[in-house]
Structures are given as C-alpha cells and as structure tokens.
Amino acid sequence: MKIRIYVYTGTGNSLWVARLLALELGETSLEFMPCLSGDVSVQADCVGLVFPVHIWGLPGRILRFIENLQVDPQVFLFALAVNAGQPAATLLQLRRLLSARRLSLSLGFSIITPSNYTPWGGPGPEEVQHRQFEEARKKVKQIAGKVLGKEQQEVDRGPLWQNVLFSLIYKMSFRQVLKMDKSFWSDGKCNGCGICSKICPASNVEMVGERPVWLHRCEQCFACLQWCPQEAIQYGKKTVKYPRYHHPEVTLKDMIAQADINRSSLRPRPSERP
C-alpha cells in the first residue's frame, strides 16, 4: 500500500507528529505541504494531512491545498489536527471541504501538544509537555493501526458550544489573518541574523537594514517568534515575559527545508475563503 503524508508546521509539533506516524506506518512518503504553484497530483492508496489548528480552524494553506489537490476519489484520506486542546470543528470543516470536492475523509484525529501561541502564555510546565508527548505517541500508534486497516469512523471534534462559538470566531477573523503580522516587532536584542526570514513558511519576513519587516501575508504560525535565537521577536506587548517554544526533536534545519520548498512554490494568492 502506497502511503503519502503532507505536513505543514510552524514550531515543529505537526512535523514531529507526522514523523511518528510515518515510522509507525512504514513505507511512507513524507512531504512538506507547499504554498502551491498549481495543481497537486497525488498517486497513492492513502493520503494523510498533518497540520496545526489556527484560530480554531483550518490554516489558509490547508484550504489552498485541498482546492488544488488532484487525487483519485477512491483514495483513503485521513488527517491529524495538531492543537493545544481545543480542536473545535476543524476536522468537520475539513470533511466538508473534501466532500465538496467529491472526496471522503475516512479518519480525522485531534492530537494535543504544547501550545505555541505565545501571546496567551507559554507552552506550560515541562512535566505537562512530556505527558502530552507521551499521550500523543500512544494515540499516533493507535491511529497507524486504523490507517493500515483502512478503518472508517467519525472525526474528532470539540463540544458543541466550542464548535459553534469558536467556528464563528474563526470565520470572523479569517480574512484578517494575512495582516495580523502588524503586531510583530523586534526589540533591541535583534542582531540581524535573519533566521526569522529564512524559516518563515509563507516567505513573509524580509530583512531590511538588518531588521525584520513583515509583508502582510502572514499565516499566524509564529515560527518567526518561536525560532528566534535571541528571543528578540515580540507579538504585541505581552510576549516579552513569556517563554518560547518549539518541539525539541525538530531542528532549525527542518524548518529551513520547509521554507525553501515553499519559496519555490509561492505564487500570488487570490482572496481566500474559509
């Protein structure tokens, strides 16, 4: 059985999850999800998507990927939505979008990892992080068995109130995401190393006069803030006091590899719709 997994990551959680799953599945191709320069034609028996939940819904990159995905309608599709504990209706949204393309989402799972949304605080105590990692490993192992068995089941979702309320917030804020980078800034610790520009999955950070400038095509992945070695990038007024986080088993080299692929596939994007 030919299995292909596409992954999108900002601080490494989703890449770590995708790698765990690929190891469990065996004989699996793992690729970064591109920004896209045209249709993505996939020849495989099983196709998996692994991605972070952004503002309680699908990141714009996932929407574009689904829009351009060319695959046999009979392919077995599965997805892992990586989040800090509130998946809301993200996987229901994905199932609906795939259905509109005459594709079926057979399995959809929520995987909880440490939070990387620094404006609301840090990732939590290390002992909690380790517990989340262990629980994620166990769940990924179970998921692998379901994928190999081509099982069908209902997708993971949050409670009804969360699905309704958070989905509304997602819809209201989605069109503003590209320009949410107006809250990023660099403080006096910035040494002009340019790592923020090198790793941005959306090629949204440009170095001007050895300082980062954001170009208003943000995806809100927070890679620039989390991977800055000087912790010089801030978002709003509160992040100065909060610890940074990226997955301990994902490297800067991994992030640069993803960004390089994205730069080669980046194209002007039409107005996005959730």
- Tell me the pLDDT of the chain averaged across its residues: 93
Q: What is the pLDDT of residues 19-61, one digit of tens each?
A: 999 999 999 999 999 876 567 888 999 999 999 999 999 999 9
Q: Is the pLDDT of residue 265 over 80?
A: no
Please report the pLDDT score of residue 273 as a whole number.
39
- Which among 189, 190, 200 has a CA at the least distance from the CA of 223? 200
Find the mean pLDDT for residues 211-222. Answer: 96
- Which among 198, 186, 181, 182 has a CA at the least distance from the CA of 257? 198
Please report the pLDDT score of residue 269 as a whole number.
45
The answer as to CATH 3.40.50.800 being correct for domain 174-265 is: no
Q: How confident is the model at residue 1 (pLDDT cuts 50, 70, 90)?
A: confident
- Which among 50, 171, 244 has a CA at the least distance from the CA of 235? 244
Note whether 13 and 35 are within 8 A (CB).
Answer: no
Please report the pLDDT score of residue 270 as a whole number.
43
Note whether 163 and 92 are within 8 A (CB).
Answer: yes
Parse the chain into domains and list their residue ranges.
3-168, 174-265
pTM of the model: 0.94
Q: Is the pLDDT of residue 263 over 50?
A: yes
Homologous superfamily assigned to 3-168: Flavodoxin domain (3.40.50.360)
Find the mean pLDDT for residues 86-114. Answer: 97
Please report the pLDDT score of residue 41 as a whole number.
86
Q: What CA–CA distances, in Å, run from 225 to 17, 238, 271?
A: 21, 13, 26
